[in-house]
Amino acid sequence: MILQLRRTTVLAVSTVLAGLALAAAPASAHTPPLSPPSARSMPEPVDAATARVQLSRLTVTEETTPPGYSRTKFPHWATQNGACDTREVVLHRDGQDVVQDAACRAAAGTWYSPYDGASWTDAADLDIDHVVPLKEAWRSGAASWTTAQRRGFANDLTRPQLIAVTDNVNQAKGDKDPGKWMVPLASYRCTYSRAWVQVKHFYNLSIDSAEKAALQSALNNC
């Protein structure tokens, strides 16, 4: 009887200790890791094979800039969902741990710029890039659009057209197409080229010969 009581006591103590050990285990051991900053970004563009097909279907023509261009003809940033404007929506989408103030402005957070691999903690260091710039769209077909169509293009959150990036990198890009400018970070050039082609294909915008050659080269390296 004494031996049986001792065995029962040992078993009970062991059970309690096991429970304490489980309770002491850090909760993070069972918590999935956060996505890397580069994974929280614009919608994933079409794959390289699809981009090559779409590129082959774009109209190739030498570009001129029709008179009358102005950024105001592409109204941005539009209010999304009755609250935040498009810039703030993209900053929130592309950042980590973003805190917004009462006016929807990003007051805190961390952002990774896939164009150059830089990280930022101040939203003022970021621009929202139109992958296909507004002026590039104007000279490749958007000059004939309605204002409503241009507004949709300038605020498109469905296609891979808007992305938060380092401000001076975006300013160096300006309105240049891939025949004149490519993202500095080589590992992102495939994604950028796929996005560019998808946007131009969706909006039925033309390309010039140098632009097409640069895109073909980038897609062949995907």
Domain boundaries, the chain: 41-220
**Cα separation, 150 vs 161, whole angstroms:** 13
Q: What is the DSSP letter of 95?
A: E
Q: How confident is the model over 199-210, as pLDDT tens digits?
A: 999 999 999 999
**Between helices 48-56 and 189-202, what is the axis angle to 10°?**
40
Q: How confident is the model over 23-72, as pLDDT tens digits?
A: 332 222 222 222 333 345 799 999 999 999 999 999 999 988 899 999 99
Q: How confident is the model over 133-149, as pLDDT tens digits?
A: 999 999 999 999 999 99
Average pLDDT score over residue span 71-91: 92
Q: Is the pLDDT of residue 4 over 90?
A: no
CB atoms within 10 A of CB 147: 11
- What per-residue confidence (pLDDT) applies to 172? 98
**Cα separation, 192 vs 203, whole angstroms:** 17
Token output for 137: 């769209």
- What per-residue confidence (pLDDT) applies to 80? 85
**Cα separation, 112 vs 93, whole angstroms:** 12
**Cα separation, 66 vs 64, whole angstroms:** 6
Q: How confident is the model over 103-159, as pLDDT tens digits?
A: 999 999 999 999 999 999 999 999 999 999 999 999 999 999 999 999 999 999 999
Q: Is the pLDDT of residue 189 over 70?
A: yes
Q: Any idea which of 81-85, 88-92, 96-100, 167-171 has the lowest mean pLDDT? A: 81-85
Average pLDDT score over residue span 14-21: 35
Q: Which residues contact 129 (CB under 8 A, 6 or more apart)?
A: 115, 162, 163, 164, 165, 170, 173
pTM of the shown model? 0.81
- Cis? peptide before 77, omega within 30° of 0: yes
Under a CB-based contact definition with an 8 Å cutoff, are residues 58 and 200 in contact? yes
